[in-house]
Amino acid sequence: MIKLTLAEVAEAIGGQLLQGDSSLVVTGSVETDSRLVGEGSLFFAKPGEFTDGHLYVARAAQSGAVASVVQHLVDGAEGHAQILVTDVVAALAKLASAVLARVRAAGDIKVIGITGSNGKTTTKNLLRAILSQVGPTVAPIESYNNEVGAPISVLKIDYATKFLVAELGAGGVGSIRYLAEMIKPDIGVLLKIGLAHVGEFGGIETTAKIKGELLDVMSEQAAVGQRNQLIANLDDSAIRELVSQHANLNTTWYGTNGDAQYRASNFEMSLDGTSFDLNFSEATGSAETARVRLQILGEHHIMNALAATAVADLVGVPRHQIVSALENVELAERWRMQVLRRADGITVINDAYNASPDSMKAALQTLAQLGRQGHRTIAVLGEMAELGQFSRAEHDAIGRLVVRYNIDQLVVVGEAARLIHMGASLEGSYDGESKYFETASEALGYLREKLLAGDIVLVKSSKSANLRYLGDDLMEVTA
């Protein structure tokens, strides 16, 4: 973060310095986890579901924090500066907005905000790889995309930062607006409107409304003369409808549709990755085509690569550097279509960090395509969380889809996912083609006995099902 005095911090967040010297300077990071605090840090004592950051103010002080932002004065940290606010999380966003405004005023930082039901983290990582070639780039770690993670990411910028890439995660109506108003993106990216979190939000229409909050904020910015650019998925009909409601937005399209300015065609896939023709329009120069060979597995990641390409091309990254960077990214993120090869010839695709009906279908399509190249295919599937009233139908549908895709073996893990097994059975799965296990350890024992050289195993579930660790365990070759 840029250096600020405690007086400047207090002013930015509307807080009151209760004790400590107002001239002290924050020279380190901003943290909500006391274990990450170092010399010169600023600690936000965030109340949480399971613990309260106020319990760790003294620890933060001992670790070198210059001050803590609190909702009440904390005893036992005598001499440690404390800034009182009514809401620590809201204060964090205020500080992020203030710091970003200072950096913007002093330089030419470009802010990119990415939202969508799927693909945010992969697109963010691809963009970081591309943009960091041409200037200092800040992007979130993992999926830091909510009301806490997003401002923490913003607060890692300084006056040298050329690009800030932010993920805007949805947490309900108003959540994307909250984050978009905080960062005021120069470039907004809308990836996909799908069924992730649909149970929590109440339906796909509400999901579209929440994702559309990014467009609402950008449209309001455009109305007052702030120049911005929207990058949107032309293949998604819900996105096309949203964009049609914001006529003042400058929109660039990507997709497989022939009208897209950034278009992919001629897909090929193997265990070594995914290849496609990347067709550049005349958006920023002459039309041209480049063959791209992604190491990342899955045709659905081509769309993420297109979105990243559109952003990079529009900010002036040379096209050959865009292609090179895309090809050099080895992994979207740990546990996201992570290809693991065993010494005995078995391949594990660990994609069990997140799961929605859309991402589950995409992963199964990839597995089915690989199976047609002479491999036996095994899908190890767990719960898709946060589907609410849609959970029964969507889990049943995935089981039926496994059969239709001719996946050789289905292994379903956990009571919450049992309907996948039942759906496969009702679709026509013969005895033994689909197996159900209560626990991951039971599934692991079964798989270790059944796997053969040449097999490809897909492990896919929501994070809460913890199958990502089963994917890791499958890499252990037993005697």
CA 426 to chain centre: 34
pLDDT greater than 70 at residue 15: yes
CATH number of the domain bearing residue 26: 3.40.1390.10
Considering the domain boundaries, does residue 94 fall inside one?
no
Q: Where are the alpha helices (DSSP H) in 265-318?
A: 300-314
Q: Is 377 helix (H, G, I), strand (E, B) or coil?
A: strand
Residue closest to 191 by CA, chosen among 171, 169, 173, 206: 169
Q: What is the pLDDT of residue 281?
A: 83
12 and 117 fall within a common domain: no
Q: Where are the alpha helices (DSSP H) in 14-119?
A: 57-62, 88-106
Considering the domain boundaries, does residue 479 fall inside one?
no
Token pair of 409, please? 């073996």
Answer yes or no: are the C-beta atoms of 214 and 181 closer than 8 Å: no
Token pair of 325, please? 């960077």
| Whole-number average pLDDT of the chain | 92
13 and 45 fall within a common domain: yes
CATH number of the domain bearing residue 463: 3.90.190.20
Measured between alpha carbons, how far is residue 12 from residues 156, 443, 450 in Å?
16, 53, 60
Mean pLDDT of 136-142: 91
The DSSP symbol for 405 reads T
Total structural domains within the chain: 3
Mean pLDDT of 245-268: 94
pLDDT greater than 80 at residue 55: yes
| Separation of alpha carbons 129 and 139, rounded Å | 10
Last residue of a domain, one of 296, 328, 360: 328
Q: What is the pLDDT of residue 59?
A: 95
Answer yes or no: are the C-beta atoms of 259 and 234 closer than 8 Å: yes
Mean pLDDT of 27-54: 94
Range of the domain at 67: 4-88
Work out the pLDDT band at 282, boundaries 50, 70, 90. Answer: confident
Q: What is the pLDDT of residue 439?
A: 96
Mean pLDDT of 307-318: 96
pLDDT greater than 50 at residue 361: yes
pLDDT 10s digits, 96-113: 999 999 999 998 999 999
Segment 262-268 long-range contacts (CB within 8 Å, at least 24 positions apart): 262/306, 262/309, 262/310, 262/313, 263/306, 264/302, 264/303, 264/305, 264/306, 267/299, 267/302
Answer yes or no: are the C-beta atoms of 283 and 291 closer than 8 Å: no
pLDDT greater than 90 at residue 448: yes
Considering the domain boundaries, does residue 333 fall inside one?
no
131 and 280 fall within a common domain: yes
SS3 of 312-359:
HHHCCCCHHHHHHHHHHCCCCECCECEEEECCCCCEEEEECCCCCHHH
Last residue of a domain, one of 328, 353, 375: 328
215 and 186 fall within a common domain: yes
The DSSP symbol for 73 reads P
pLDDT greater than 90 at residue 291: yes
71 and 127 fall within a common domain: no
The DSSP symbol for 10 reads H
305 and 370 fall within a common domain: no
Token pair of 26, please? 């924050």
Specify the range with the lowest mean pLDDT, choosing from 7-11, 131-135, 153-157, 468-472: 468-472
Dihedral (Cα; 310, 316, 319, 321), 10-degree rounding: -110
| Separation of alpha carbons 147 and 47, rounded Å | 13
Token pair of 442, please? 């039971």
pLDDT greater than 70 at residue 431: no
pLDDT 10s digits, 196-206: 656 566 677 88
Token pair of 272, please? 């070594």
| Separation of alpha carbons 380 and 401, rounded Å | 14
Answer yes or no: are the C-beta atoms of 166 and 111 closer than 8 Å: yes
| Separation of alpha carbons 92 and 46, rounded Å | 9
384 class by beta-carbon count within 10 Å (0-12 exposed, 13-18 middle, 19+ buried):
buried
386 and 280 fall within a common domain: no
The residue type of 277 is: D
Q: What is the pLDDT of residue 400?
A: 95
Last residue of a domain, one of 58, 88, 118: 88
Q: What is the pLDDT of residue 202?
A: 62
Q: What is the pLDDT of residue 79?
A: 87
Helix (H) / strand (E) element for 96: namely helix 88-106
Considering the domain boundaries, does residue 98 fall inside one?
no
Per cent of the chain over pLDDT 70 is: 97
Considering the domain boundaries, does residue 51 fall inside one?
yes
3-state helix, strand, coil in the chain (%, to 5): 40, 20, 40
pLDDT greater than 80 at residue 122: yes
Q: What is the pLDDT of residue 335?
A: 75
Mean pLDDT of 434-438: 95
| End-to-end Cα spacing for the chain | 51
382 and 258 fall within a common domain: no
Residue closest to 84 by CA, chosen among 67, 69, 65: 69
The residue type of 30 is: V
Considering the domain boundaries, does residue 112 fall inside one?
yes
254 and 145 fall within a common domain: yes
pLDDT greater than 70 at residue 195: no
Considering the domain boundaries, does residue 423 fall inside one?
yes
Q: Which residues pair with 293 in a beta bridge?
A: 275
Work out the pLDDT band at 479, boundaries 50, 70, 90. Answer: very low
pLDDT greater than 80 at residue 167: yes
209 and 343 fall within a common domain: no
pLDDT 10s digits, 228-243: 999 999 999 999 999 9
134 and 278 fall within a common domain: yes
Considering the domain boundaries, does residue 71 fall inside one?
yes
CATH number of the domain bearing residue 313: 3.40.1190.10
293 and 438 fall within a common domain: no
